[in-house]
Amino acid sequence: GVLAWMGLEINTMAIIPLMAQQHHPRATEAATKYFLTQATAAAMILFASTTNAWITGDWNIPQTSHPAATSLLTLALALKIGLAPMHFWLPEVLQGLNLTTGLILSTWQKLAPFILIYQIAPNTNPTILTSMGILSTLIGGWGGLNQTQLRKILAYSSIAHLGWMITILHFMPALTLLNLTIYIIMTSTMFLSLKSLSATKINSLAITWPKTPILTVMTMLSLLSLGGLPPLTGFMPKWLILQELTKQNLPILATIMAMSALLSLFFYLR
């Protein structure tokens, strides 16, 4: 537990200088917000593992068995990666960063907390995981609707994708890992192509069309794949997850998830 906490703290500390390297009020604000949420989450993690050690005498995170400790740990890790209802910091932090740091924040920084969630998932109350997952997919779908800033859209897409991963985590962890891998690949593609187009708003994509048509087409395709449009890669994990949810006799849940995916697709299609 202590080692996990230390690792996450080092992880936070390492990205703060990258965030604050542009001396711009927005960058500073993003770094401060990020630091505060991550520090809170890390303190909660330490508290949860201490509680568990106090009750059960076991410091090991995968063996966290006390319900209060596991729930607290899950919530802390959800705050760390920006799952709804603890997602409020993510769009604003991402908006204040440049595209390279944004890429690191959206991919690499998600790995450590996610591995911990993956380890404690079997002991966690499935209701907590599933309800956070549904909330995230819905908020990720709705939040992105009125955005024109590409980084905010990517932040909401991140919330929605994490929602899908968390929902299926209790039933089929392998699918979660598949989804995470595909999400990381697609997000990297997205950020790097936006970086080479130096585009941060939707309307700036319209200007890049005459200059670099092929790259713009690639960017559009990876955006649609991130949204989960059927013939593209991003649709695969969604389809498998819906299939598994129906197998688990949760058709209502599957319907809600599918509807929220339509919301995200709508704002990608713009």
DSSP line for 82-140? T-TTS-THHHHHHHTS-HHHHHHHHTHHHHHHHHHHHHHGGGS-HHHHHHHHHHHHHHH
Q: Rounded distance, CA 183 to CA 226, Å?
A: 7
Residue 35 has pLDDT above 80, yes or no: yes
Nearest to 220 by CA among 270, 160, 157: 270
What's the whole-number mean pLDDT along residues 131-152? 90
pTM of this prediction? Answer: 0.93
The answer to whether 64 and 119 are in contact (CB under 8 A) is: no
Residue 206 has pLDDT above 70, yes or no: yes
Residue 230 has pLDDT above 90, yes or no: no
Q: Give the chain's mean pLDDT.
A: 90
pLDDT value of position 8: 92
The answer to whether 228 and 160 are in contact (CB under 8 A) is: no
Share of the chain above pLDDT 70, in %: 100
Residue 268 has pLDDT above 80, yes or no: no
Residue 209 has pLDDT above 90, yes or no: no
pLDDT value of position 43: 94
The answer to whether 64 and 70 are in contact (CB under 8 A) is: yes
What's the whole-number mean pLDDT along residues 238-258? 88
Could you give the count of Cα atoms lying within 13 Å of 96 in the half-sphere of its Cβ?
22
Whole-angstrom CA distances from 268 to 5, 30, 68, 220 are 36, 25, 39, 9
Nearest to 55 by CA among 77, 70, 41: 70
In degrees and rounded to multiples of 5, residue 35 shows phi and psi of: -60, -45
pLDDT value of position 264: 82
**Residue with more model confidence, 168 or 259:** 168
Residue 39 has pLDDT above 90, yes or no: yes
Q: Give the number of other CB atoms < 10 A from CB of residue 267.
A: 20
What's the whole-number mean pLDDT along residues 161-188? 94
In degrees and rounded to multiples of 5, residue 201 shows phi and psi of: -125, 160
Alpha helices per DSSP H over the chain: 2-19, 25-56, 67-81, 89-95, 99-106, 108-120, 126-143, 150-169, 173-197, 202-211, 213-227, 235-247, 251-269
3-state secondary structure of 201: strand
